[in-house]
Amino acid sequence: MVRDPVPSLAAPLLPPHTAAMRPLRVGMIGIGTVGAGTFRVLARNQALIAGRTGRGIKMVVVCARSLARAMSVVGKDVALTNDPMQVATHPDVDVLVEAAGGTGPARDWVLAAIRAGKHVVTANKALLAVHGNEIFAAARQHGVAVAYEGAVAVSIPIVKALREGLSANRIEWVAGIINGTTNFILSKMRDEGVGFAEALAQAQALGYAEADPTFDIEGIDAAHKISLLAANAFGMPVRFADAQVEGITALQGLDVACAEQLGYRIKLLGVARRRNEGVELRVQPALVPATHLLAHVNGSMNGIMVKGDAAGVTMFYGAGAGSEQTASAVIADLVDVARLDGTSAAQRVPHLGFHTHAMDEQLAVLPRAAVHTRHYLRVPVHSAQQIEAVGAWLAAQQVPVLQVALANDKSLPPGSGVQVLVLTDAVAQSTVDLAVHALAAHPAVAGPVAALRVEVLEG
């Protein structure tokens, strides 16, 4: 009996031609937290990365404000400059890593690199949220790739999951905790009963919050990220300017305690949901059932859920910030570029997951008033006997009330007074806004009415 020869199982680590392949040459602008982490991980794991990539990845030039500090990180074998454009247009650079941040000069550097025929890797979510459509269009025109896994929930490969792993699915919604600073603050408010200001001060002391935390606590950073996720999920342009954004600066510890009493926890969520009439694109603090997986994403961690029509609900969890955590995503993008460098654009994964002809340029973002969700209302009243009046009045205003209860004053901060807690069924935001405005004038009401959305995130 004649048998075919059995091939050897001891295949070489790399194909014979790989050793002769030129390394992918990288120029990087910025050697701060992200840049330094990228260089360290790339140097530490270079053999492993080359084994996965099929070729080496070599840092050839770095731009930094302080050349002395840069040399202390990268050593003497990497060329240094303080001119970003020199890196963006350097003839020996194949791919630009933009690690400086910001939206103004960074746009100019990235576009210059693209025009020079260089691929771009960035973790700059603000840049892509504001200028992404222009940058992606330029990249298509010049046949180069723009990769940005590190721009959203850095240690979580959520962009790759949407564009590749879930590419067979019609995505129904993407939602999650995508800002570690605010999640740390909300966790402290719940676990230690402290107010917003004290929790923010703790976050700053531990390095989780910047000296100017505006982008985080006002929800802007999360809005940058959910805008990018929505584009990849639904095949639409990046619509950051249309997102509804609400931060946590007005959130009271009283509501954190009341939510807990009702069986919920408050999280700052980014939500992108496909409806028949358009897309919800929003960031806001919301009540999540205490039994829900996202309710257990605490501290500075991130958690993202995606619902597809075929896969159902999937969840992704990991660190949303950090030097080497971001580097992990940046280098993963470099590996993709190294593997596909020299291939035609048609063979690459599209920047936003859909090829240009399939993008829905007209897909509308729903206005705030049209968003339907459940709601939580906290109504301060003069006496406990007025609970029935509040429930009846809301029902008369076409607000579908599911539950009305008195807050347990033993679990509330001192001096909170009598609080009526209301949970509604799904209702348009416009209806809730009108009811809250009118309720403030009701004789039973003793102060401002608090209103928050409730997200069930059903499977």
Tell me, yes or no, if 225 is annotated catalytic.
yes
Kindly state the helix (H) or strand (E) to which residue 28 belongs, with its residue range.
Answer: strand 24-29
Q: How far apart are CA 297 and CA 294, in angstroms?
A: 5
Q: Are 120 and 94 in contact (CB under 8 A)?
A: no
Q: If you search the block for the tokens 């791919």, which residue do you land on?
A: 95
Q: How far is CA 382 from CA 385, 386, 387, 390, 414, in A?
A: 9, 7, 10, 11, 16
Q: If you search the block for the tokens 């069924």, which residue do you land on?
A: 425
* Residue among 118, 160, 188, 225 flagged as catalytic: 225
DSSP letter for each residue of 268-314: EEEEEEEETTEEEEEEEEEEEETTSGGGG--TTEEEEEEEETTTEEE
Tokens of 43: 């140097």
What pairing do the DSSP bridges indicate for beta strands 79-81 and 146-147? unpaired
Please, which residues have CB within 8 angstroms of residue 146's CB and are 6 or more apart in sequence? 110, 114, 119, 120, 121, 122, 135, 136, 139, 351
Q: Which amino acid is at 420?
A: V
Please report how the helices 220-234 and 125-142 are oriented relative to each other, as an axis angle in degrees rounded to 10: 40
Q: Are 294 and 177 in contact (CB under 8 A)?
A: yes
Q: Which amino acid is at 91?
A: P
- Measured from the Cβ of residue 329, the count of other Cβ atoms closer than 10 Å reads 27
Count Cα neighbours of 405 within 13 Å in the Cβ-side half-sphere.
Answer: 13
Q: How far apart are CA 440 and CA 223, in angstroms?
A: 30
Catalytic residues: 225
